[in-house]
Structure 1
Amino acid sequence: MTTDQRTHTNPPAPYVEPAPYGYLYLGFRADPPRRVPFVLRSSRRREVLRRCQDLARQLKAMDQVISARVYRAVAIQPSSTSPRFDVIVLIETAAPDAIAAVEAAPACQQFGADFVMAARNIRRMGDIDASPSGTFLFNHFTADDADRALRYFDSVAGWFSHDAKVDDIALLGPLEAGPYVFVNQVRLPGTLAAFVSHLLHPNFRRSVSHKMHANRVGFASIICKPL
């Protein structure tokens, strides 16, 4: 049975105006782990990362491209809904209507990604800090009803800023229907171990995880480092 109760235990999310840019989210299954969450070194993945970095540099020369960043996964949440991307490229365009021109560019066509999602920013907390020393979380959300999933995301998002001290969040909503109702990019505020300790706390299960599962909203996380 699906409930329609919202959590009142979380403070309101400190949202700011969504960014006006467009996004191309590319996922690659270069050599993902099969049974363990941690992503080990791989010559096959290194080659994919090198190719992606080269193509990203070419895209940055386009007027319509604000940024093109390549990420390598360090851990993938074991989940039946996990996309198992061990390489991710996020391209930021000047506006959503610039996505088509960027996607048609020869460099973009050469990526050969396993998954491509054109998106816009639908929720934002702060500005994503792209420092190469950072650790990033990409959360892939699934649901039968995208509007309901967004409503419940809003009801739990305050936990991340208040309890986990996260202040850089960008929720990317697809421009066309696909397997994910949205993908959330988060820059972790400290170490990965510190963030995981928050996720293991009973308050996370009570205030976030149980609420999402009760309303049939699934999520699968990939933790990455930018190159």
Structure 2
Amino acid sequence: MPIRREKGQLIARLKYLAQQLEQLEAVEKATVFHAIVMAPSSGYVKQHRDSIHLPRYDIVVLVETRSPETARQVQKTEEYAMLVDALSSKASDLHSIVARNVKRVGDVEKRRKGIFLFNYFVGEDSQVTLALWDYLAGWYAVETGMDNSTLLLPLEGEQSDYTIINHARWNGLLSFLWQQVTKKSFRTYMQANLNVNQVGAMPIFYHLA
């Protein structure tokens, strides 16, 4: 992980390159995030941590394109190559995939400040993991007021360490955490469902860079 000054310089560079990417017709938006909280391992993840690639990504760049097909085209551009090079020059661990949005509660607003979640899921059965997300999303909608969320599934042939990645936004971290940890059903329903279905969730919370 870069030291603070280097990280600031890297983020500034990535934001500039993201703006260049947004000039491409195929790109709808390119957003840079920096991590503020990485949740500790628990449940399935803690039991299998030796075989799971734990996400420790303190910077995320999300490039949204018009379609999965155009995402492949964007990967071949000079603008994209420059962004990846900038990340690679500083990263001790880099995870890059092309994914499609397979489920959503609502679009994630990225033009306003807030707390942004990237939740990295692993599971014994990919179909079970996908189905379980519906139950989890329902709980978050009722208990935390979540009204936006997109579920990213790696395209066929992509080498991904994670079965799915969930992306969502809330207005503030403290209010979200309070709503979550004070609910008894978080343990009896949420965590219990993850464990019984052999699914691990590894959430990281970010701010807009």
- Greater Cα offset, 85-94 or 199-208: 199-208
Q: CA deviation at 1:132?
A: 3.3
Query: 1:175-215 CA distances to partner (integer Å, 9 max, x unpaired)?
Result: 03521111000111x32111111221221111211111221
Counterpart amino acid of 1:52? L
1:71 corresponds, among 16, 33, 58, to 33
Q: Which residue of 2 aligns with 1:202?
A: 184
Q: CA deviation at 1:71?
A: 0.5
Q: CA deviation at 1:139?
A: 0.2
CA contact (8 A) 2:97 2:159 kept: no
Q: CA deviation at 1:45?
A: 1.5
Q: What does 1:1-227 correspond to in 2, within 5 Å?
A: 30-31=1-2, 42-79=4-41, 80=49, 81=52, 82-110=54-82, 111-112=84-85, 113=87, 114-175=94-155, 176-188=158-170, 190-200=171-181, 201-227=183-209
Q: CA deviation at 1:77?
A: 1.5
Unpaired runs of 5+ in structure 1? 1-29, 32-40
TM-score by length of 2: 0.85
Counterpart amino acid of 2:4? S
Q: CA deviation at 1:173?
A: 0.6
Indicate the SS of the match to 2:114.
coil
Q: Distance in 1 between matches of 2:13 and 2:76?
A: 18
Superposed CA RMSD in Å reads: 1.5
Query: 1:72-128 CA distances to partner (integer Å, 9 max, x unpaired)?
Result: 111112234531000000000011100111111112112234110100001101221
CA contact (8 A) 1:59 1:107 kept: yes
Counterpart amino acid of 1:197? W
Q: Distance in 1 between matches of 2:32 and 2:112?
A: 10
CA contact (8 A) 2:121 2:163 kept: yes
Unpaired runs of 5+ in structure 2? 42-48, 88-93
Structure that is richer in helix per residue:
2
Identity %: 29
Q: Which residue of 2 aligns with 1:24?
A: none
Query: 1:114-164 CA distances to partner (integer Å, 9 max, x unpaired)?
Result: 110100001101221113312101100011211111111122221010111
Q: Distance in 2 between matches of 1:126 and 1:169?
A: 5
CA contact (8 A) 1:198 1:204 kept: no
Aligned residues: 188
Q: Which residue of 2 aligns with 1:38?
A: none
